[in-house]
Chain A
Amino acid sequence: MAGVVLEGVVKTFGDTTVVERLDLEVRDGEFMVLLGPSGCGKTTILRMIAGLESVSAGNIVIGGRVSNWVHPSERNIAMVFQNYALYPHMTVARNLGYALLRQGVDKQKVARAVEEIAQSLGLSTLLNRKPAQLSGGQRQRVALGRAVIRQPQVFLMDEPLSNLDAKLRVDMRNEVVRLQARLGTTTIYVTHDQIEAMTMGHRVAVMDHGRLEQVGSPLDLFQRPSNSFVAGFMGHPSINMFRGSISAGPGSRMFLGEGIRLELRNVDIGASEVLVGIRPQHLVAVGDASDGGARGACVGQATVDFVEHLGTESFALLSIANRAAVAAVDPAAMISRGTEVSLFCKQERVHVFDAVTGRRISAETDGTASPSE
């Protein structure tokens, strides 16, 4: 096994900088997720680690060795592609064993390895089929098997589950996590799906426009986003962001903006213009304001546009001061379209960001929040 270190890595295509001076360490045996919107440079990073793209500046260190100029096949890595990239003209067995044959491994040993991998991934009955004769899930397994059979020191996975339907994606997600835990192979996994990132990664690196915005454990990113982009990207439904100004009050400061009025304590704020972020899970809408006491302080009033019942939780889509917001509601409460509601929130659940730079300026949350809370 081996760790992967990116030291000041830059990638440019002509005048366009796709990756800006990236420093990132992926520890030996770690499951690191690169998360970000389309076009943020995460796949380019993966391709540079694989050696499929050159590095414009900086170093890629794999297993302690600077690998910038090492041929992809000599980096001892395996990659799973978004569209599987199986060899369509070869059978499943040949797809699985091809890399070993190219390495000069004895044919009988390759056949044994193929059988073992096929058995562990439930592909034994499909060995003589071509990829076109397989379902999406089966192709995904073949792609995984093709990576695993090489026993590489690093797995690179480029949105490998994005072409699967929702249920299969959840099944395969668990399978990939189990596989990585069993093998203990360093894994770098690219996705734009924050649920995948939260549920799979030991750590998550959030990227935007070629920049690394934050690296941390999934809960770190959720509870303590370092800027408004990370706060907005992590969590579902998306965090509510209210733009407003700060005014000094006796012993505390008051935030006022876009229909929200709340007291901020423990906040050292230089900026007068700020963004206040409150996750929908932490902004509670109640029909009767007297019911809200335990849920924190009342921060504003809103009108319900409609209510989404997700089974385990319910959210109300609200109009507040001519903008939309989302808040949690009690599924049993009689709240429907047009209901006037009061919004409650605990002060420690509020994230405050500089309105200009987007950087976090609020104090700690209480650390008990979770994405599914």
Chain B
Amino acid sequence: MNRDAELSLDRIARGSSLGRLLTRICFGVLVLVLLGPFFVMLSTAIASNRAVVAIPPTWLPDQIALSNFREAFSVIPLARYFLNSGIIAGGATALNAIAAVPAAFALARLRFRGRRAFLIFIIATQMISPVVLLIASFKLMLVLHLLNTYWALIFMDGTISLPITIWIMTAYFSLIPQEVQDAATLDGVRAWRMLKDHFVPLGVPGIVTALIFSFVIAWNEFVFALTFITNPTIRPLTTGIYAFMGQSQIQWNYLMAASLLAIVPVFVIFLIVQKRLASGLSAGAVK
């Protein structure tokens, strides 16, 4: 190799390593920005209330107060709120499973007039902010006598996430080879059996992905919970821990400890199903 060629290769190598360095710096800054709130949440959750409001503020408390986690349970009925959130998110997810799986199968594989328009309509509903529906939904729940019941939030949270779960499952079901459906048709399989015997078992990654979305949306929902539920015994976590924000004082340490605990179930679910989640999302992306 001649000297000029060596020099130009060297320049390219230096150029690319400089590019890599800049990329890493950019990513590093991005990660710091994203993790910043989590860090503040964690440092506040393990600090005493006095340390939280100290001036000048400190990044890390001098003394770690793990007792915040225990005391958060005694100050408010946090365990009850966990249970309530579980019931509501579980119910909303079940509602999604019951409604979205057959809907997605029909949209992916049955031929009927207006199929495409309906699919577009479903995704178009995502453009409407749930807050816009708040008053109408409140009146609806009032008429149905569902205010201050789990059902109000199960129906509402389930409905909010239904379009996205239908969309993800439709995309996934569309990837199941047509020949498998044809073979099953020749074997005497009709629509419901097709769904039960073939599309559900083959569509598990897509179904799981969609239902996790549904669960997380319901678990994190705040506005409807605040509007529909005033009875403290059926409050979910999101509005339950809101009690730490008093009119005269905010108990930041308890609030952050409870918030941190509230993340745990979702975090664990993501950890367990992360591989399937990735395949389910990418399947939806290419279709």
- Residues in A lying within 8 Å of B, measured CB to CB: 47, 50-52, 72-74, 77-79, 81-89, 98-99, 102-103, 146
- A75: nearest chain-B partner, CB-CB: B186
Is B185 touching A73 in the complex (CB atoms < 8 A)?
yes
Rounded to whole angstroms, the CA-CA distance of A77 and B183 in the bound complex is: 11
Is B201 touching A102 in the complex (CB atoms < 8 A)?
no
24 pairs of residues in contact across A and B, judged by CB atoms under 8 Å: A51-B185, A52-B186, A72-B185, A73-B185, A74-B188, A77-B186, A79-B182, A79-B183, A83-B179, A85-B177, A85-B180, A85-B182, A85-B183, A86-B183, A87-B184, A88-B202, A89-B198, A89-B202, A99-B187, A102-B187, A102-B188, A102-B189, A102-B193, A146-B183
Is B186 touching A78 in the complex (CB atoms < 8 A)?
yes
- Residues in B lying within 8 Å of A, measured CB to CB: 177, 179-180, 182-189, 193, 198, 201-202
> Closest 4 CB pairs between A and B?
A73-B188, A85-B179, A99-B187, A85-B183
Rounded to whole angstroms, the CA-CA distance of A102 and B198 in the bound complex is: 13
Specify the main secondary structure of chain B where it touches its partner. Answer: helix
Is B186 touching A83 in the complex (CB atoms < 8 A)?
no
B residues near A102, Cβ cutoff 8 Å: 187-189, 193
A residues near B180, Cβ cutoff 8 Å: 85, 87-88
B residues near A99, Cβ cutoff 8 Å: 186-188
In the assembled complex, how far is the CB of residue A51 from the closest CB belonging to chain B, in whole angstroms? 8
In the assembled complex, how far is the CB of residue A111 from the closest CB belonging to chain B, in whole angstroms? 17
Partner of A52, one of B185, B189, B201: B185
Rounded to whole angstroms, the CA-CA distance of A44 and B256 in the bound complex is: 64
B residues near A73, Cβ cutoff 8 Å: 185-189
B residues near A84, Cβ cutoff 8 Å: 179
Residue of A82, A89, A146 most packed against chain B (CB within 10 A) = A89
B residues near A47, Cβ cutoff 8 Å: 182
Rounded to whole angstroms, the CA-CA distance of A246 and B185 in the bound complex is: 57
A residues near B193, Cβ cutoff 8 Å: 102
Contacts A89-B201, A89-B202: A50 and B186 contacting too (C-beta < 8 A)?
A: yes
Rounded to whole angstroms, the CA-CA distance of A84 and B179 in the bound complex is: 8
Rounded to whole angstroms, the CA-CA distance of A47 and B179 in the bound complex is: 11
Rounded to whole angstroms, the CA-CA distance of A99 and B224 in the bound complex is: 49
Rounded to whole angstroms, the CA-CA distance of A85 and B177 in the bound complex is: 8
B residues near A51, Cβ cutoff 8 Å: 185-186
Rounded to whole angstroms, the CA-CA distance of A84 and B182 in the bound complex is: 11
Rounded to whole angstroms, the CA-CA distance of A343 and B262 in the bound complex is: 88
Partner of B186, one of A79, A82, A86, A89: A79
In the assembled complex, how far is the CB of residue A104 from the closest CB belonging to chain B, in whole angstroms? 9
- A146: nearest chain-B partner, CB-CB: B183
- A98: nearest chain-B partner, CB-CB: B187
Partner of B183, one of A74, A81, A89, A103: A81
- B179: nearest chain-A partner, CB-CB: A85
- B176: nearest chain-A partner, CB-CB: A88
- B186: nearest chain-A partner, CB-CB: A72
Rounded to whole angstroms, the CA-CA distance of A81 and B179 in the bound complex is: 7
Rounded to whole angstroms, the CA-CA distance of A82 and B187 in the bound complex is: 17
In the assembled complex, how far is the CB of residue B4 from the closest CB belonging to chain A, in whole angstroms? 43
Rounded to whole angstroms, the CA-CA distance of A87 and B184 in the bound complex is: 9
Known: A78-B186, A102-B188. 8 other contacts (CB 8 A): A52-B186, A73-B186, A74-B188, A81-B183, A85-B179, A85-B182, A87-B183, A88-B202
A residues near B183, Cβ cutoff 8 Å: 79, 81, 85-87, 146
In the assembled complex, how far is the CB of residue A280 from the closest CB belonging to chain B, in whole angstroms? 38
Rounded to whole angstroms, the CA-CA distance of A146 and B202 in the bound complex is: 20
Rounded to whole angstroms, the CA-CA distance of A50 and B183 in the bound complex is: 10
In the assembled complex, how far is the CB of residue B45 from the closest CB belonging to chain A, in whole angstroms? 44
Partner of A103, one of B179, B184, B185, B188: B188
- B204: nearest chain-A partner, CB-CB: A89
Rounded to whole angstroms, the CA-CA distance of A102 and B197 in the bound complex is: 11
Is B182 touching A52 in the complex (CB atoms < 8 A)?
yes
